[in-house]
Amino acid sequence: MLAPSRRFFRQRTAATLLAVVLLLATVMPTPAWQNSGPDTGSRAVELTVYNQDLALVKETRPLTLTLGLNEIRYTDVAALIDPTSVRFSSRTSLTGTHVLEQNYEYDLVGAEKLLEKYIDQPIEVITEDGSVYQGKLLNGSSDVILMADDGKVTVLRREQIRTFTFPALPEGLITRPTLVWTVDTDKAGIHTTDVTYLTHGISWRANYVLLLAKNEKTLDLNGWVTLDNRSGITYQDAKLKLVAGDIARAANMGVQKVMDYAAVEAPRAAPGPQVSERGFFEYHLYEVNRPVTVRNNQTKQIEFVTSTGITTTTFFVYDGSGISFGGYGPVFDQAYGSTGQTKVNAMLEFFTGKKNNLDAPLPAGVVRIFKPDEDGAALLIGEDSIDHTPKGEKIQLYVGDAFDIVGERTQTDFKRLGDKVVEETFKIVVRNRKESAVEVRVVEHLYRWSQWEIVQASDKSYSKPNAQTIEWRVPVKADDTTEITYTVRYSF
């Protein structure tokens, strides 16, 4: 039996501890828990998509918060979210509501995860023949190994199994990626909250359809936004913006799927612009003028530019070597540059800008060129890609190789004129088997060294597009041949 003084001391100590616990419960209340799921009727979504497998998502949702600490489970976010980019704010109490802690939970439930979590725990397995096996799971990574209560071990191949049955969902596994916040607020009630984050798995690209006129003097253009969403979430009735340009990304921060066109028609007058374009910093911003639902695993196309009567030029290029000066050297190998290339490229060129009926910048994308046949059916004649192109700039497209025009490039002489001088001579022949005359741009690259001079040329009308290239504009009559010879001297 305790002495009275000791019994009194213990009673007083217990009372003191109880008072401390009650005080802590008052000062540090248990966070109120709630789940914020996909209530699409009360959500507003803004989606800004970049060219670089990146999108900025902004969601506005109402959340009911209690005074003090709250634990919020914010579900229905993109599976490829960058959790370090998340920003939470309350419009209801902007300065009095703060996120004290944030966790991103992405351990999603699945057959492999369940098997991993249930190692050394009892499960039930039903095989294709209807047999039922129960026991402790010893292994589930390949074949399934069970140990019954009597110690008997059964090995089942995966292809034998029809169904797994687990007693319950293990702790820590979730059905959807979830942001979990500890939020402190000075105002209880319904808060209008904004959540923004970056996600991968969604990008956009421009796709263009060009319809070349029969006389090849003009073309019509349709431009489409091709949006590919593989981010793991559907964006319902989103305010959609697209940024055209290459933004800088910190280190360690599509599949491109292109829709085919069964038929191609000249652009028609649209009932109204679907997409508005404006400058944004050093980029261009395209905003769709209506709510857009972007479903997960969906490719969506929206027309954003259309124009007719764009003046264009078609021409041919023969680049016999295709080798440019690499900035190193000198090159003394006599056979260097002898490629045997005979193909002549068919090219198409036009300018953007208001003067040419194309008053719009063109974001990077794939260009498909069509031309009507004699019966009016538009046939594909080639495709190429363009980079981001502002208004007033030239676009050159490689359409394909000319069937009836052939080039031939032959080195006819090569000699060393001392230790630091080389001369070589080429003969270039262009044969035109078409029924009409053509002009071919013959391009020669001076690739052996940076210091050179043309000491002889059968046609002196060549130009110098740059410091290492010369070019002739060669007319070739129908079913005829044109020949050029020249000698270049390199000094090292």
User: For residue 362, is it within any domain?
Assistant: no
pLDDT score for 55: 93
pLDDT score for 176: 66
Q: Are residues 321 and 417 in the same domain?
A: yes
User: For residue 291, is it within any domain?
Assistant: no
Q: Are residues 477 and 341 in the same domain?
A: yes
pLDDT score for 301: 92
pLDDT score for 286: 82
User: For residue 407, is it within any domain?
Assistant: yes
User: For residue 327, is it within any domain?
Assistant: yes
User: For residue 374, is it within any domain?
Assistant: no
Q: Are residues 131 and 16 in the same domain?
A: no
Q: Are residues 443 and 481 in the same domain?
A: yes
Instruction: Please report the sign of the dihedral spanned by the C-alpha atoms of residue 434, residue 321, residue 485, residue 469.
Output: positive
Q: Are residues 23 and 124 in the same domain?
A: no
Q: Are residues 56 and 154 in the same domain?
A: no
pLDDT score for 259: 34
Distance CA 418, CA 330 (A): 14
Q: Are residues 14 and 66 in the same domain?
A: no
- The two beta strands, 298-319 and 438-445, are parallel
pLDDT score for 84: 87
Ranges of residues in the chain whose predicted pLDDT is under 50: 1-30, 37-41, 253-272
Q: Are residues 144 and 15 in the same domain?
A: no
Q: Are residues 92 and 126 in the same domain?
A: no
Which range marks the domain in which residue 475 is found?
316-348+394-491
Distance CA 311, CA 353 (A): 11
User: For residue 268, is it within any domain?
Assistant: no
Distance CA 210, CA 368 (A): 6
pLDDT score for 13: 43
Q: Are residues 338 and 445 in the same domain?
A: yes
Is pTM beyond 0.95? Reply is no
Going through 66-201 in order, the beta strands assigned E by DSSP cover 68-74, 81-90, 97-105, 122-127, 132-139, 144-147, 153-156, 161-165, 178-185, 189-199
User: For residue 130, is it within any domain?
Assistant: yes
Q: Are residues 150 and 9 in the same domain?
A: no
pLDDT score for 109: 56
pLDDT score for 140: 78
User: For residue 224, is it within any domain?
Assistant: no
| Residue partners of 429: CB distance under 8 A and separation at least 6 | 407, 408, 410, 481, 482, 483, 484
pLDDT score for 262: 34
When divided into structural domains, the chain yields a total of: 4
Q: Are residues 117 and 148 in the same domain?
A: yes
CATH code assigned at 138:
2.30.30.100
Q: Which long-range contacts (CB under 8 A, 24 or more apart) does 256-265 make?
A: 256/205, 256/228, 257/226, 257/228, 257/299, 258/207, 258/226, 258/366, 259/207, 259/226, 259/299, 259/301, 261/209, 261/368, 263/378, 264/209, 264/211, 264/370, 264/378, 265/211, 265/378
